[in-house]
Amino acid sequence: MDKNCLFCKIIKGEIKAKIAYENEKVFAFYDINPQAPTHVLIIPKLHISGAPEIDDNNRTVVSDLIIAANEIARQSGIDKTGYRLVLNCGPDAGQAVFHLHLHLLGGRKLNWPPG
Ligand code: 5GP
Ligand code: ZN
């Protein structure tokens, strides 16, 4: 836990968010500024600043996030129509919050390449 981290505060309930899913290792909540009909952020309960911090010591975190995302996609009814999983890494990708978060986007046709 990082005292100054927005997403750690959301996990602790200090900042309110609409919860989409939770298990022992993972927390997921609806994005405050949704870019698609379904837009959920899936985060590890452990504070990790972003995907560039993933290495051999914490590699299972990534699969925990993806397994949770797939479950949320099923719950949201977008598993058959499709969805996008996004990890923004650093300034050029527009990463604004430095607690690892996997974006789950779906419920509409998504453009490629992204902006
Ligand atoms: P990033 O650009 O870092 O990949 O994505 C950060 C995401 O967090 C953005 O999509 C933004 O809308 C979302 N976000 C920022 N602050 C809050 C908040 O307080 N609550 C929720 N639910 N989402 C937030
Ligand atoms: Zn954090």
How does pLDDT run across 19-66, given as a tens digit for each residue? 999 999 999 999 999 999 999 999 999 999 999 999 999 999 999 999
pLDDT of residue 46: 97
Backbone φ, ψ for residue 45 (5° rounding): -70, -25
Residue 14 Cβ inside 6 Å of ligand 1? The answer reads no
- What CATH number did the domain enclosing 37 receive? 3.30.428.10
Q: Is residue 31 part of a domain?
A: yes
Strand pairing category for 38-44 and 19-22? unpaired
Residues 49 and 99 sit within 8 Å (Cβ to Cβ): yes
Residues 30 and 17 sit within 8 Å (Cβ to Cβ): yes
Q: Say whether pLDDT at 115 is over 90.
A: no
Q: Show the domain range for 25.
A: 6-106
Domains identified in the chain, total number:
1
101 counts as catalytic: yes
Write the Ramachandran bin of 113: left for phi over 0, alpha for psi from -120 to 50, otherwise beta.
beta
Residues 30 and 43 sit within 8 Å (Cβ to Cβ): no
Residue 111 Cβ inside 6 Å of ligand 1? The answer reads no
pLDDT of residue 1: 86
Q: pLDDT tens digit string along 73-92?
A: 999 999 999 999 999 999 99
Residue 13 Cβ inside 6 Å of ligand 1? The answer reads no
Q: Say whether pLDDT at 112 is over 90.
A: yes
pLDDT of residue 82: 98
